[in-house]
């Protein structure tokens, strides 16, 4: 157990014991050794479950809004105590974005910040272990240590070394925010990472001719099964009612005209490439200036659609056109609710 | 038969619709391929409208509003400009011809500009051919 993990546990235990927080959101070991899973610790005696290691991939910030969406049971009183949450550098950007949109307020959350030196993509790790003839079922113990350019993975007592770029999440290679932007308490030393975002993957697609770009994206979106995992996992997709769910409206003689107008079936339920395209473009429009590129949508996608190519493009354009970056400043106004006199308008006749 | 494009035009009530009226009463001739839809303000045009129009088989979409600074609601068109800039970049990125979605500022006194823009948009979309990328499979002709 690392120092950081111990300190987090001790602090969480203290806060839970004296009743400062209602629960703590952190990570615990998953059902297999390659994954950790989010956990909600409500009792001080359960804090031993909390882990912190390079497998803590999930962005936990989104869970903060879940609690607000839940409707209270009859007679239940709202627990106004703050929630404790563990955030990495990138997750803290999501948290800042939620704070700036007033989805949560600062006094409703106690932030445990951890500077993060990159997290491991379980899919990639599984693959490299498979190459060494290690399947998930045969792994009893797995510890990961990080030393500069390599990860040392200790499996069943045997050590393996893998280069960083082979098993790390792709979002970590050009991370500009390894240290939490805001935190009530920081655990561990500050980390230095890249200064500049790398848009090479996006630029490669931009350089393709139009027909090839279309081929690439239509093939990708044809795979989509519209499970909505990308939307549901997204920390800033918090609406109670989503525009793409409007297909559920059944029109009866009792349906009022305002219902028909407000619940316009923009999208049909059938999984069809055109509908999928519409879904993803709509989602991207709603993400503009809000997405912080945490990569959760891509990670959650069961069909391996490279959604980060879309979110990165969005981030790049928003930066280039409006010099705006999401999730940096709690006081910032949302991108689409402000304007400048000299916004780009060359495309307008 | 030659291809006649179907173009959906969202015209703001205060400038562009009045501009279209002026083109009409001035007896200017312009292409009949545009289906005008009046909206209160170009800032009221949700990007969903544009995507939905393309999905339902429009070959192109035109959004037209007041010139910057002339908006009846002071700044609706400025908000719209930001949104449309992003949408256009996204459409281009996924491989849809950016000419399919055009924006124009037309004031109430610019009847000739209205006729000219409609002609230009129609011709540029006619040159691209029918839009089948975003339409539903099975609804293609």
Tens place of pLDDT per residue across chain A (349 aa): 578 889 999 999 999 999 899 999 999 998 888 889 999 999 989 999 999 988 999 999 999 998 888 888 888 888 889 999 999 999 999 999 999 999 999 999 999 999 988 899 988 988 888 888 888 778 877 888 877 778 888 888 888 888 888 888 888 888 888 999 999 999 988 888 777 888 999 999 999 999 999 999 999 999 999 999 999 999 999 988 888 886 667 788 888 888 877 777 888 888 888 889 999 999 999 999 999 999 999 999 999 999 999 999 999 999 999 999 999 999 999 999 999 988 888 889 8
pLDDT of residue A3: 84
pLDDT of residue A133: 83
**H or E segment and range at residue B123:** helix B111-128
pLDDT above 70 (res B141): no
Question: Six-digit token pair at A314?
Answer: 């969005």
* Torsion-angle region of A279 (φ positive above 0: left; ψ -120 to 50: alpha; else: beta): alpha
Alpha-carbon distance B93 to A320, whole Å?
15
Of the candidates B51, B88, B94, the beta carbon closest to that of A214 is on B94
Q: Which residues of B touch A211 (CB under 8 A)?
A: 95
Please state whether beta strands A109-113 and A150-155 pair in parallel, antiparallel, or not at all (unpaired).
unpaired
Q: B94 in a domain, yes or no?
A: yes
pLDDT of residue B139: 43
Question: Six-digit token pair at A120?
Answer: 């491991």
Among B89, B98, B119, B121, most A C-beta atoms within 10 A, so best to mutate, is B89
- Taking CB atoms and an 8 Å limit, are B137 and A274 in contact across chains? yes
Alpha-carbon distance A187 to A244, whole Å?
40
ipTM for this model: 0.93
CA torsion through residues A133, A136, A139, A143, sign: positive
Query: What is the three-class DSSP state of A135?
Result: coil
Place of tokens 């990328």: B133
Top pLDDT among A194 and B108 is at B108
Q: What percent of chain B has pLDDT over 70?
A: 96
- Taking CB atoms and an 8 Å limit, are B52 and A243 in contact across chains? no
pLDDT of residue A284: 94
pLDDT tens-digit series, residues A171-207: 888 888 899 999 999 998 888 877 788 899 999 999 9
CB burial of residue A135 (10 Å; 0-12, 13-18, 19+): exposed
- Taking CB atoms and an 8 Å limit, are A321 and B84 in contact across chains? no
Of the candidates A215, A217, A336, the beta carbon closest to that of B82 is on A336
- Domain range enclosing B120: 7-128
Alpha-carbon distance A168 to A162, whole Å?
10
Question: Six-digit token pair at A150?
Answer: 């390599």
Q: What percent of chain B has pLDDT over 90?
A: 86
Alpha-carbon distance B37 to B56, whole Å?
15
Q: B77 in a domain, yes or no?
A: yes
CB pairs under 8 A between A and B: 110
Domain coordinates in residue numbering, chain A:
1-117+177-191, 120-168, 199-349
Alpha-carbon distance B2 to A245, whole Å?
39
Q: B133 in a domain, yes or no?
A: no
> Residue A241 in contact with residue A323, Cβ under 8 Å?
no
* pTM, 2 dp: 0.91
pLDDT tens-digit series, residues B5-41: 999 999 999 999 999 999 999 999 999 999 999 999 9
Q: B30 in a domain, yes or no?
A: yes
| Alpha-carbon gap: B4 to the closest alpha carbon of chain A (Å) | 22
pLDDT of residue A247: 62
Question: Six-digit token pair at A13?
Answer: 């235990």
Alpha-carbon distance A241 to A238, whole Å?
9
Q: What percent of chain A has pLDDT over 70?
A: 99
Average pLDDT value over all residues in chain A: 89
CATH code where residue B44 lies: 3.40.50
Alpha-carbon distance B130 to B139, whole Å?
13
Alpha-carbon distance A16 to A82, whole Å?
11
> Residue B45 in contact with residue B80, Cβ under 8 Å?
yes
pLDDT tens-digit series, residues B31-81: 999 999 999 999 999 999 999 999 988 999 999 999 999 999 999 999 999
Pairs from A205-209 (Cβ < 8 Å, separation ≥ 24): A205/A309, A205/A313, A205/B93, A206/A313, A206/B93
- Cα distances (Å, whole numbers) of residue A117 to A114, A179, A192: 9, 9, 8
Cα–Cα nearest to A105, from A76, A68, A79, A60: A68
Q: B73 in a domain, yes or no?
A: yes
Q: How many domains does chain B have?
A: 1
Q: B78 in a domain, yes or no?
A: yes
pLDDT tens-digit series, residues B126-139: 999 999 888 876 44
Among B68, B73, B90, most A C-beta atoms within 10 A, so best to mutate, is B90
pLDDT of residue A31: 87
pLDDT tens-digit series, residues A250-298: 788 888 888 877 777 888 888 888 889 999 999 999 999 999 999 999 9
Segments in chain A forming alpha helices (H): 3-17, 63-69, 89-100, 122-131, 164-167, 200-207, 210-223, 229-233, 257-262, 273-287, 296-300, 307-322
Query: What is the three-class DSSP state of B67?
Result: coil
Phi, psi dihedral angles at A25 (to 5 degrees): -100, 120
Q: B139 in a domain, yes or no?
A: no
pLDDT of residue B137: 61
Query: What is the three-class DSSP state of B85?
Result: helix
pLDDT of residue A1: 52
């Amino acid at each position: 157990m690392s120092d950081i993990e111990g300190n987090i546990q001790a602090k969480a235990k203290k806060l839970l014991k004296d009743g400062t927080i209602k629960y703590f959101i952190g990570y615990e070991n998953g059902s297999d050794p390659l994954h950790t899973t989010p956990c909600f610790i409500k009792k001080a005696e359960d804090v031993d479950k909390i882990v912190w290691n390079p497998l803590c991939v999930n962005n936990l910030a989104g869970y903060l809004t879940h609690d607000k969406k839940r409707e209270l049971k009859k007679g239940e009183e709202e627990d106004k105590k703050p929630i404790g949450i563990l955030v990495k550098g990138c997750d803290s950007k999501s948290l800042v974005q939620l704070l700036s949109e007033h989805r949560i307020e600062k006094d409703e959350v106690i932030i445990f910040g951890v500077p993060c030196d990159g997290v491991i993509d379980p899919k990639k790790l599984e693959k490299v272990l498979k190459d060494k003839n290690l399947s998930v079922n045969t792994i009893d113990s797995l510890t990961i240590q990080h030393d500069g350019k390599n990860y040392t993975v200790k499996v069943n007592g045997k050590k393996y070394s893998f280069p960083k770029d082979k098993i790390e999440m792709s979002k970590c290679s050009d991370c500009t925010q390894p240290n939490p932007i805001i935190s009530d308490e920081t655990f561990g030393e500050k980390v230095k990472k890249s200064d500049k975002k790398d848009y090479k993957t996006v630029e490669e697609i931009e350089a393709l001719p139009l027909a090839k770009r279309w081929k690439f994206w239509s093939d990708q979106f044809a795979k989509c099964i519209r499970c909505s995992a990308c939307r549901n996992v997204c920390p800033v997709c918090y609406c109670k009612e989503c525009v793409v769910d409007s297909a559920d409206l059944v029109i009866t003689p009792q349906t009022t005209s305002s219902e028909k107008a407000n619940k316009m079936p923009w999208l049909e339920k059938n999984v069809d490439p055109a509908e999928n395209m519409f879904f993803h473009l709509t989602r991207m429009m709603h993400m503009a200036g809000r997405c912080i590129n945490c990569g959760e949508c891509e990670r959650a996608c069961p069909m391996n659609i490279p959604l980060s190519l879309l979110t990165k493009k969005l981030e790049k354009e928003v930066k280039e056109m409006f010099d705006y970056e999401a999730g940096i400043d709690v006081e910032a106004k949302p991108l689409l609710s402000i304007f400048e006199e000299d916004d780009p308008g060359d495309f307008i006749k | 038969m030659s291809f006649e494009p179907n173009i959906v035009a969202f015209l703001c009530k205060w400038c562009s619709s009045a501009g279209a009226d002026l083109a009409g009463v001035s007896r200017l001739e312009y292409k009949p391929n545009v289906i005008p839809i009046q909206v209160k303000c170009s800032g009221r045009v949700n990007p969903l409208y544009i995507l939905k129009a393309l999905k339902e088989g429009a070959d192109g979409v035109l959004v037209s509003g007041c010139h910057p600074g002339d908006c009846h609601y002071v700044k609706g068109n400025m908000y719209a400009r930001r949104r449309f800039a992003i949408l256009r970049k996204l459409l281009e990125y996924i491989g849809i011809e950016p000419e399919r979605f055009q924006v124009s500022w037309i004031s109430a006194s610019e009847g000739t500009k209205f006729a000219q823009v409609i002609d230009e948009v129609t011709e540029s979309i006619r040159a691209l051919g029918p839009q089948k990328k975003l339409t539903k499979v099975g609804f293609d002709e």
